[in-house]
Structure 1
Amino acid sequence: MITLQRDTAPAVPEQAAWAGAQILLLGVLGDAVGLGPLGWLAGTAYGFLTWALLSSAMQRSGCGSLGPADRVTMARGVLVGGVTALVADRAGQDAPTTILVAFAAVALVLDFVDGQVARRTGTASALGARFDMEVDAFLILVLSVHVAFAFGPWVLAIGTMRYLFVVASWILPWLRADLPPSLARKAVAALQGVVLVVAASGVAPFAGILVALALAALLWSFGHDVRWLWRSRAIAQTPVAEGCSSV
């Protein structure tokens, strides 16, 4: 969980600087690997949407500045923008594997770092945690698209499952209830990124089997959570007898 600190000073200049860092990274990729128009479009759109959505969320929550852990997450977000541009530009064909894997791997490592920073500073917020989760989810989505070119469209289930769950929660409000903390859930979520990066690297034998096992673990995790939410819904809807009981 990371922190967005309340402050009267606006965070717009800092967020604009991060948006500039995203454009700079795209420029570096353009020089290094010849990033094409589609890559530029995807990377720029990602950076703009991240900036716009985060700014809007901060205004709604009354948070005026970014905390130290948030800056780590923003750095991760810039790397994810680079991965997005590379995947969109090459569409699975002759992608610069070394750069793509390096960006994704560093982003995954920084996911651990921002949590450590938040805990050591003793600050956390629901908005910061949501920002962290959305960056993670989008990285998994982009990696699943890339790996799907090699192993088939079924891999997309890894990247889209969380978003399908969100859509389902719009229809079924009981899916929006808070879940209890779970180390198993966190481990399964972390596993997805690691396995997808390994599969994207092309160096591991039987990578398709590893991806399939990761998907199976993710299905189990989501199934377990949905079952828990359903049972909690049933308990909440159980009528409570009124009046005094007789002895």
Structure 2
Amino acid sequence: MPLFTNTSSYMLPKRLNTAAELVVGGLLLLALGIGLPQLMTTPANGWLALGLYTLISILAMLFWPHGSLGWANRVTLARAVLVALVAGALANNAFVTAIWQWLAIAVIALLLDGVDGWVARRTQSHSQFGARFDMELDALLILLLCAGLLRLESLGLWVLMIGGMRYLFVAASWQFAWLSEPLYESFRRKAVCVWQVVALLLALTPLTSHLAASLLAISALISLMYSFGADVKWLYQQRNYPRG
């Protein structure tokens, strides 16, 4: 047996398997983009969607070294395709004239959020990567919906705080290490996340008045501030306790 082994020779086939699945996701994105001309009205829409998906794929390649993604992560990858479409339609405000299609794609992406977790439990394929992949897509979808609401209802830049608070929390953890410690499982946190998306989707429908959209967005922001505040308080209280 050789004293040293070339690990790259073992990693390369795994990386190729991952890349192949990501390419399939990219082809799905292109097919959906062609099939939704109302949303992908200009090259800018397509390039934005493809650029975001490419970034997601690069990050997946960097943080998933295990080859095939597995069924749970494949469902999450399908969510990434839909989120990329949601983002692409924001360019040149293409989503405004096809708002119901845009919202339908966002709703499907939201519904798939529960499917990937169910698949992971059924196939016993839980992973830290899968959980993080899912969580970051949730955060990105919420930020994109905020951007759409800002355009449609002109509520003010404060509405971006709903989607940006997660990223501010991550940025703060670079300065305060105790903010990056793992959190306990929380139904409250999950419920607030779901309500954010539901409130934003309702606010974005053409059937919702400007006042109702404002109240829905405010409720999402207040509930989010409460949830983040509870987590920050708990992490601050735990900062001096040794982790077992």
Tell me the TM-score normalized by structure 2.
0.87
Q: 1:180 matched to which residue of 2?
A: 184
* Selected match of 1:198 from 195, 202, 207: 202
- Count of matched residue pairs: 227
Q: 1:242 matched to which residue of 2?
A: none
Deviation string, structure 1 residues 89-127 (Cα, Å, up to 9, x no partner):
3177x3411111000001101101111111122220101
Report the CA distance between 1:185 and its aligned residue: 0.6
| Paired residues of 1:68 and 1:118 also in contact (CA < 8 A) | yes
| Paired residues of 2:120 and 2:126 also in contact (CA < 8 A) | yes
CA distance in 1, matches of 2:192, 2:164: 15
CA distance in 1, matches of 2:179, 2:54: 30
1:83 to 2:86 alignment = yes
Q: 1:226 matched to which residue of 2?
A: 232
RMSD between aligned residues: 2.1
CA distance in 2, matches of 1:64, 1:136: 24
* Selected match of 2:59 from 53, 58, 65: 53
CA distance in 2, matches of 1:66, 1:89: 34
Q: 2:34 matched to which residue of 1?
A: 27
Counterpart secondary structure, 1:65? coil
CA gap 1:179/1:44 in 2 versus in 1, 3 angstroms: same
The AA in structure 2 aligned to 1:174 is W
The AA in structure 2 aligned to 1:157 is M
Q: 1:18 matched to which residue of 2?
A: 25
| Paired residues of 2:72 and 2:116 also in contact (CA < 8 A) | yes
1:207 to 2:213 alignment = yes
Q: 1:111 matched to which residue of 2?
A: 113
The AA in structure 2 aligned to 1:192 is Q
1:96 to 2:98 alignment = yes
| Paired residues of 2:146 and 2:200 also in contact (CA < 8 A) | yes
Report the CA distance between 1:154 and its aligned residue: 1.1
| Paired residues of 1:72 and 1:114 also in contact (CA < 8 A) | yes
- Taking only the aligned residue pairs, the percentage that are identical comes to 40
Deviation string, structure 1 residues 3-43 (Cα, Å, up to 9, x no partner):
xxx9x6422111111112112222223x3345213212211
CA distance in 1, matches of 2:194, 2:109: 12
CA gap 1:123/1:34 in 2 versus in 1, 3 angstroms: closer
Report the CA distance between 1:55 and its aligned residue: 0.9
* Selected match of 2:147 from 145, 148, 166: 145
Q: 1:189 matched to which residue of 2?
A: 193
Report the CA distance between 1:64 and its aligned residue: 1.3
CA gap 1:201/1:167 in 2 versus in 1, 3 angstroms: same
| Paired residues of 1:70 and 1:114 also in contact (CA < 8 A) | yes
Q: Which runs of 5+ in 2 are unaligned?
A: 1-10
Tell me the TM-score normalized by structure 1.
0.86
| Paired residues of 1:86 and 1:95 also in contact (CA < 8 A) | no
Q: 1:43 matched to which residue of 2?
A: 49
| Paired residues of 1:37 and 1:89 also in contact (CA < 8 A) | no
Counterpart secondary structure, 1:96? helix
Deviation string, structure 1 residues 125-175 (Cα, Å, up to 9, x no partner):
101111111111111110011112212211100111101111111111111
The AA in structure 2 aligned to 1:112 is G
CA gap 1:67/1:231 in 2 versus in 1, 3 angstroms: same
Counterpart secondary structure, 1:11? helix
CA gap 1:232/1:74 in 2 versus in 1, 3 angstroms: same
CA distance in 2, matches of 1:171, 1:95: 43
Counterpart secondary structure, 1:32? coil
